[in-house]
């Protein structure tokens, strides 16, 4: 197997560098979608809306510290002796400074022979040479309808701002066992904050909840 891999000096540097691949010239006419990551404080590029929404799972994962899209590209020699280029969709840094590369796919793409063949080819490169694993992210498995609805809802409130003092006061009124959405709304109202502020608390992950259930007045919220 060829080791024609060009990497930045470290993965820490990778999270801060510009994209190596020019998506406009390699995406075969597919649209280039730019989305701001509030978790990573960067703008990420995706080749489709589906990829962008798949990445939202990492935006609201409390175990994710930051991530970057299309972090770098490398060439490798496939089993047929042909040198091909590969670019992972995401490089994710988790709590504890562990890393994982991600290939974003929908349900059909995740199980396609083309995807599985490519994944089999590049897995040894990531594990043995780069030193970090690569995983296929099946959007259908990680984003059932209710979870996706929550992601869409929270995405709308990420752009709003929180007052640190008010947020600390609100969180101080919530016990370790958490409270319901309705109760948190009542607490926020004491500090003259609307429901949108409560939603922003969720979007900014000041409170966590079961993402597989649609947010409702009885939803249990736990202070982060």
User: Residue ranges of the domains in the chain?
Assistant: 11-142, 145-223
The alpha carbons of the chain give a radius of gyration, in whole angstroms, of 20
- Predicted confidence band of residue 144 (pLDDT cuts 50, 70, 90): confident
Q: What is the DSSP string of 13-44?
A: HHTTSPPSS-HHHHSTTPPPEEEEETTTTEEE
Could you tell me where the beta strands, DSSP code E, fall in 27-180?
33-37, 42-46, 64-69, 74-77, 83-86, 90-94, 98-105, 134-138, 179-180
DSSP-assigned letter for residue 48: S
Q: What are the phi and psi torsion angles at 33 (to 5°)?
A: -105, 125
Angle of helix 49-59 versus helix 145-155 axis, rounded to 10 = 80
The residues, ordered by sequence, that sit 6+ positions from 15 with a Cβ below 8 Å of its Cβ are 40, 66, 68, 71, 91, 93
Q: What tens digit of pLDDT does each residue of 61-116 get?
A: 889 988 989 888 888 889 999 998 899 999 999 998 889 999 999 888 999 999 99
Mean pLDDT calculated for residue range 151-167: 93
Q: What is the DSSP string of 174-204?
A: S-TT-EEHHHHHHHHHHTT--HHHHHHHHHT
Q: Is the pLDDT at 31 greater than 60, yes or no?
A: no
- pTM, whole model, 2 decimals? 0.73
Q: Write out the CATH class of domain 145-223.
A: mainly alpha
39 or 3, higher pLDDT: 39
Mean pLDDT calculated for residue range 38-44: 85
Please tell me the CATH code under which domain 11-142 is placed.
Answer: 3.40.1350.10
Unique residue bearing structure tokens 């929550």: 150
- Predicted confidence band of residue 30 (pLDDT cuts 50, 70, 90): low
């Amino acid at each position: 197997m060829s080791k024609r891999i060009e990497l930045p000096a470290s993965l820490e540097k990778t999270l801060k560098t510009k994209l190596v691949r020019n998506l406009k010239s390699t995406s075969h006419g597919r649209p280039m979608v730019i989305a701001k990551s509030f978790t990573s404080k960067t703008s990420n590029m995706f080749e489709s809306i589906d990829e962008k929404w798949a990445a939202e799972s990492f935006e609201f994962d409390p175990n994710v510290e930051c991530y970057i899209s299309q972090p770098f590209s490398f060439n490798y020699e496939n089993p047929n002796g042909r040198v091909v280029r590969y670019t992972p969709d995401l490089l994710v840094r988790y709590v504890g400074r562990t890393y994982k590369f991600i290939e974003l796919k929908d349900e059909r793409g995740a199980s396609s022979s083309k995807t599985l063949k490519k994944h089999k080819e590049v897995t040894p490169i990531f594990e043995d040479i780069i030193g970090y694993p690569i995983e296929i992210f099946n959007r259908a498995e990680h984003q059932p309808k209710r979870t996706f609805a929550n992601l869409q809802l929270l995405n709308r409130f990420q752009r709003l701002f929180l007052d640190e003092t008010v947020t600390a006061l609100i969180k101080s009124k919530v016990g370790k066992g958490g409270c319901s959405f309705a109760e948190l709304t009542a607490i926020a109202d004491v500090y003259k904050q609307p429901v949108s502020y409560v939603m922003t608390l969720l979007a900014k992950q000041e409170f966590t909840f079961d993402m597989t259930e649609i947010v409702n007045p009885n939803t249990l919220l736990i202070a982060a």
